[in-house]
């Protein structure tokens, strides 16, 4: 793999992290679910050991949440390319949920796969730092 190919993968995976935050904040749940592989799984930062598996289940989990206004700020994104079809990533997340609640600081640990649809989350595990 060339350095240019590695940088392109890093860029695409980092973009996926930002896109996820933007779509989540816009309550575009169908689009969020499509960012996962068909068998992808996620664990929310508030429940890091409670896995939700598959696009349909992920979509249902988002649809079943009470409506709220959020703003996710993601930073410290580091992507490690395993090979041309796989990568891992780590990022820091700051979540604002309104003026009456303190912001939450957490992280995501991600596994990415290149699919026919492009790069997708194979696994997205969140956690809270404080």
Query: What CATH code is carried by the domain that includes residue 96?
Result: 3.10.450.50
Closest CA to 63 of 87, 32, 107: 32
pLDDT digits (tens, 9 = 90+) for 60-73: 999 999 999 999 99
Q: What's the domain range around 115?
A: 3-128
Q: Which residues contact 2 (CB under 8 A, 6 or more apart)?
A: none
Structure letter (DSSP) for residue 48:
T
> Taking Cα atoms as reference points, which of 88, 87, 90 lies closest to residue 74?
90
* Residues 65-121 pLDDT 10s: 999 999 999 999 999 999 999 999 999 999 999 888 999 999 999 999 999 999 999
Q: How many domains does the chain have?
A: 1
């Amino acid at each position: 793999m060339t350095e240019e190919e590695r940088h392109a993968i890093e860029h695409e995976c980092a973009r996926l992290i930002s896109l996820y935050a933007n779509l989540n904040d816009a309550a575009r749940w169908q689009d969020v679910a499509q960012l996962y592989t068909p068998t992808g799984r996620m664990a929310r930062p508030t429940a890091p050991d409670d896995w939700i598996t598959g696009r349909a289940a992920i979509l249902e989990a988002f649809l079943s949440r009470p409506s709220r206004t959020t703003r996710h700020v993601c930073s410290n994104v580091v992507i490690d390319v395993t090979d041309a079809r796989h990568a891992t990533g780590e990022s820091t997340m700051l979540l604002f949920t309104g003026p009456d609640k303190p912001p939450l600081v957490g992280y995501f640990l991600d596994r990415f796969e290149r699919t026919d649809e492009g790069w997708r989350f194979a696994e997205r595990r969140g956690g809270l730092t404080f």
